[in-house]
Structure 1
Amino acid sequence: MGDITRSWWLLLVRGIAAVIFGILALIWPGLTLLALVIFFGAYALVSGLFALFAGFRHGAQSRAWLIFSGIIGIVAGLVALAWPGITSIALLFVVAVWAIVSGVSEIVAGIQLRKRIDNEWLLILGGALSVIFGVLLLAWPGAGLLSLAWLIGIFAVLYGIAMIALAFRVKNFTSGAPVP
Structure 2
Amino acid sequence: MSAAAMPPPPIAVTAPPSGGPPRWLAAVLGVLTILVGIAALVWPGPTLLAIGFLFGIYLAVWGIGLLVRGVGGHDVSVGLRILDIFLGVFAVLAGIALMVRPGASVLTVAWILGFWFVLAGVMQLVRGFVEAEGRWWNLIWGIVGIVAGFIILDSPEIGIATLVWIVSIGLIVQGFLELALVFAPRGGGSVA
> Same-fold call, TM > 0.5?
yes
Q: Residues of 2 paired with 1:3 and 1:132: CA distance?
A: 32
Is the 8 Å Cα contact of residues 51 and 102 (structure 2) preserved in structure 1? no
The ranges of structure 1 where at least 4 consecutive aligned residues each deviate by more than 4 angstroms after the TM superposition are 174-177
Q: 1:122 aligns with which of 137, 143, 160?
A: 137
Say if 2:107 is the partner of 1:92. Answer: no
Counterpart for residue 186 of structure 2: 173
Contact 2:106-2:157 at 8 Å conserved across structures: no
The separation in 1 between residues aligned to 2:121 and 2:25, in whole angstroms, is 17
Compute the TM-score of the two structures, normalised by the length of structure 1.
0.87
- The 5 Å alignment of 1:17-56 reads 17-56=32-71
**Counterpart check, 1:107 vs 2:125:** yes
RMSD: 1.9
Change (3 A) 1:28 1:175: farther
Ranges in structure 2 where 5+ consecutive residues have no aligned partner? 1-16
Structure 2 CA distance for aligned equivalents of residues 81 and 65 of structure 1: 24
TM-score normalised per structure 2: 0.82
Deviations 1:73-120 (A, max 9, x none): 111101111112210111111110111112212221232222xx2x32
Q: In 2, distance between residues paired with 1:16 and 1:133?
A: 20
CA–CA separation in structure 1 for the residues paired with 2:85 and 2:121: 13
CA shift for structure 1 position 23: 0.4
1:144-163 aligned at under 5 Å gives the runs 144-163=159-178
SS in structure 2 at match of 1:142: coil
CA contact (8 A) 1:65 1:106 kept: no
SS at match of 1:2: coil
Deviation at 1:2, TM superposition (A): 1.8
CA shift, 1:52, in A, is 0.8
1:71 to 68, 75, 89: 89
Q: State whether structure 2 residue 15 is matched by structure 1 residue 2.
A: no
Larger Rg: 2
Q: Which has the higher helix share?
A: 1
3-state SS, counterpart of residue 86 of structure 1:
coil
Q: Residue 48 of structure 1 aligns to which amino acid in structure 2? A: G
1:72–1:102 CA contact under 8 A, matched in 2: no
Asked if the contact 1:69–1:106 (Cα under 8 Å) also holds between the matched residues in 2, the reply is no
Match of 1:58? 73
Q: Report matched runs for 1:127-138 at 5 Å.
A: 127-138=142-153
Query: How far, CA to CA, are the matches of 1:12 and 1:123 in structure 2?
Result: 15
Percent sequence identity over matched residues? 29
For structure 1, which runs of at least 5 residues remain unmatched after alignment? none
